Chains A and B, each alone.
Chain A
Amino acid sequence: MNGEPARVSLRVNGRREVGRAEPRATLAEFLREELGLTGTHVGCEQGVCGACTVVLDGSAVRSCLVFAVQAEDCDVQTVEGLGQDGMHPLQQAFWDAQAVQCGFCTPGFLMTALVALRERDDWDRAGLRERLSGNLCRCTGYQTIVDAVLAAGEAMKDTGEEGRT
């Protein structure tokens, strides 16, 4: 019989989580449906849109292109892990810059931006636009999103925050 569910154990936002997943269940589905973490949004389900981006063992990845069984024993950060004590500087910057319209792409952008700001804190606008180009937004035209991430980078530099929440 194909595709019997298996036990999956991994860390999500610092907590050990255990659930069951068919082999074909993506990490995105597992987070949303098995763990109830619906902050991770599922857009295209084929790796194009970036809405489902999470941080897996320190790298931003498409959670629709990782099967949950592959994430066994891995460390996952989702948007729910941001700003557990009030808003994370990235979230505050998105708020301030009005970088959100419908909000569907926002969790993916936040997780991509989190990793981008860990990679370097001196992005210029053009470089950051390209760095974020794997995430699609159909509302904002990207201007305010780029504004927000640049502002968050400055804010995190000023306060010494590393964005590792």
Chain B
Amino acid sequence: MKTAAFDYVRAGTVAEALAGLRDGRDARILAGGQSLVPIMALRLAAPEVLVDITRCAELRGSGLDGGVLTVGAAVTDAALERDPGIRSAHPLLVRTLSLIAHPEIRARGTLCGSLAHADPAAELPALLLATDGEVEVDGPEGARRVPAGAFFAGPFTPALAEGEMVVAARLPVPGPTCGWAVDEVSRRPGDFALAGVVCVVDLDESGRCEGARVGLFGVASTPVRSRGAEEVMVGEQPTEAVLDAAAAACFDGIDVQGDEVHASADYRRAAGRALVRRALDTAVRSAGRRVA
């Protein structure tokens, strides 16, 4: 299928991109296009103007500063995966990227684009939640930072105002005492997750859980933090019984959705619980190794 007709603007700077968004017509940012172009081909979206930011030099950089990895909006997933500095500094990010679609998609797809697309089944929004990241936004009212918890307003709906765009993501790197895990269930490698989890746990010197952040994807209308699992974990020695209880509580307060052809909500709940149990175990073990 062919997309509806649109005008194409190649922005060389963020200022040009913002000007393109102020066009007065329905304008969208085009970065990797690996989510936007399919929905345009399906005519689920028909923007009148596409503002291509892939050649904005100021959006093509990424860098680590003070324990936070900043990734520009034109940086592809593949570029992050290949970067030796990022591979050693943020292995959780690299492992998460490897779960996304296929290398041919990651060659063009961008991290910030995935955040802005806000697909509830996507991996990176859950990573942003589980690591307390932020999204850097620019727009007519100036630049601002949106915390992960406030960014995913609804299914495919980022908290961006009219004329605003994502310029970068800020990803705090889990500290040396943290353990982490990411896992998902999908029908085939590269398919969207039927349920998925990203978790980061922080253990103190005695092995007690000081902090736990559990992000779930593919199970609700947005990526969500599993407060139930987190509350069970924090303050406890992560024994088998505690991990069991955390997994049992992982959907507390979450409206699990997805009664459709690929998986029922019940399946997603069962798979999600199993994934949380397994991921917390992996995270605790990897944190334990570092503590010891």
Chain A interface (Cβ within 8 Å of chain B)? 2-4, 6, 22-24, 26, 45-48, 50, 53, 56, 59-62, 64-67, 69-70, 72, 112, 115, 130-131, 133-134
Q: Are A2 and B48 in contact (CB under 8 A)?
A: yes
Enumerate 23 A-B pairs (CB-CB under 8 Å) in ascending A order. Answer: A2-B5, A2-B6, A2-B48, A22-B5, A23-B5, A24-B3, A24-B4, A46-B42, A47-B34, A59-B78, A59-B107, A60-B107, A61-B104, A62-B34, A62-B108, A65-B34, A67-B50, A69-B10, A131-B103, A133-B102, A133-B189, A133-B190, A134-B105
Partner of B103, one of A4, A64, A134: A134
Instruction: Assign chain B's interface to a size class.
Output: 20 to 34
Give Cα distance in the complex from A144 to B4, angstroms: 39
Residue picked from B38, B104, B108, B189, most chain A C-beta under 10 Å? B104
Q: Tally of A-B residue pairs with Cβ under 8 A?
A: 90
Query: Hey, which chain B residues are within 8 Å of A131, CB to CB?
Result: 103
Partner of A46, one of B1, B103, B189: B1
Interface of B is mostly: loop
Partner of B6, one of A24, A48, A53: A24
Closest 6 CB pairs between A and B? A134-B102, A3-B5, A23-B8, A59-B107, A46-B38, A2-B5
Query: Hey, which chain A residues are within 8 Å of B104, CB to CB?
Result: 50, 53, 59-62, 112, 134
Query: Hey, which chain A residues are within 8 Å of B3, CB to CB?
Result: 24
Q: Are B78 and A24 in contact (CB under 8 A)?
A: no
Q: Are A24 and B102 in contact (CB under 8 A)?
A: no
Give Cα distance in the complex from A98 to B42, angstroms: 35
Give Cα distance in the complex from A144 to B38, angstroms: 30
Give Cα distance in the complex from A115 to B78, angstroms: 13
Distance of A56 from chain B, by nearest CB (Å):
8
Partner of A6, one of B2, B8, B30, B105: B8
A3-B6, A23-B6, A65-B34 are known contacts. Are A47 and B189 too (CB-CB below 8 A)? no
